Amino acid sequence: MPNPQMLYDAEAATASSIADKIYRELENTIIDGGLEPGDRINEKALADQRGISRGPVREACRRLEEAGLVEFKANRGFFVRVLDLQDVLEIYDVRAALFSHAGRILARRINREQIAELADMHVQMEAAVAAGEADQFYVLNRRFHSRIMAFTRNKHLASIYESLDRELHIWRKRALILDGNVRASSAEHALILEVLRNGNPSRIAEVLRDHSLAGRNRLLRTMPEQIARFEGVWDHED
């Protein structure tokens, strides 16, 4: 006779696998513009199309909510999150400040092995650029930034950064993929490695801050309609 616990574990694993797949599908659909900000996610239709219950779809939507990609409205369901331009500017202001402060900490804390780890990631990113694999570049790009923050050994700084990264995740990925800026971003990583090796606190802080703001500007170029209604949007290019 089958073990009831084993059957339960197998069913749970299957449901989790289905939820993972739906999560990735919805994420890509949002990035590609198939679902626009403000659009409702039709859980029933998604479940019916796949011949499954709504459970895995709901789990995928909850994970999208945790990642800051969708929002739940009581009695209405899940909707693609609408990111206001003012939110973008405020988050990037904080993000740039975090990068700058991280640079000053790294000047005295980062070691050769950690720089070598970042350099290896950069080699992989360059390979992704050459192969036209923007998705892989983006995964490595996020990891590169996360490791920079982790190397500060300031867990609060790293935690705040990760929270902001989740909020901007979908929009940053769209900026890199749709705006074709993987080469520019990779070149900026090369400069980051150069200044980390030289160890000048002010220069490291400046380069990391500028990298964050360059990413911000890449994102803004994918939002032309909002920019047109917002004066002074490029004030932070200095």
Mean pLDDT, range 58-86, rounded to an integer: 89
- From CA 133, how far away is CA 127, in angstroms rounded? 8
Residue 235 placed within a domain? no
More confident residue, 131 or 86: 131
The amino acid at residue 5 is Q
How many domains is the chain built from? 2
Domain end position, chosen among 63, 80, 97: 80
C-alpha pair distances (Å), 70 with each of 77, 79, 86, 118: 10, 5, 18, 31
**154: pLDDT strictly greater than 60:** yes
CATH number at residue 118: 1.20.120.530
Tokens in use for 151?
Answer: 């190397």
pLDDT of residue 229: 58
Do 105 and 210 have their domain in common?
yes
Do 219 and 118 have their domain in common?
yes
- From CA 24, how far away is CA 56, in angstroms rounded? 12
Do 131 and 161 have their domain in common?
yes
More confident residue, 68 or 226: 68
**212: pLDDT strictly greater than 90:** yes
Mean pLDDT, range 28-40, rounded to an integer: 83
**7: pLDDT strictly greater than 90:** no
Domain end position, chosen among 52, 80, 108: 80
Do 30 and 68 have their domain in common?
yes
Mean pLDDT, range 108-118, rounded to an integer: 97
Taking a C-beta distance cutoff of 8 angstroms, is the pair 140, 124 a contact?
Answer: yes
Q: CA 164, 216, 89, 32: dihedral to nearest 10 degrees?
A: -80
**72: pLDDT strictly greater than 90:** yes
Mean pLDDT, range 38-50, rounded to an integer: 93
Do 105 and 14 have their domain in common?
no
Residue 237 placed within a domain? no
Q: For the chain, give the mean pLDDT.
A: 85
Q: 3-state class of 92 per DSSP?
A: helix
Domain end position, chosen among 40, 60, 80: 80
Mean pLDDT, range 112-130, rounded to an integer: 96
**12: pLDDT strictly greater than 70:** no
Do 59 and 150 have their domain in common?
no
Q: 3-state class of 80 per DSSP?
A: strand
Taking a C-beta distance cutoff of 8 angstroms, is the pair 88, 171 a contact?
Answer: yes
List the domain range (segments joined by +) for residue 105. Answer: 85-228
Do 167 and 212 have their domain in common?
yes
Do 21 and 126 have their domain in common?
no
More confident residue, 127 or 179: 127
pLDDT of residue 48: 92
Mean pLDDT, range 150-161, rounded to an integer: 96
Task: Count CB-CB contacts under 10 A for residue 128.
Answer: 20
pLDDT of residue 163: 83
pLDDT of residue 218: 83
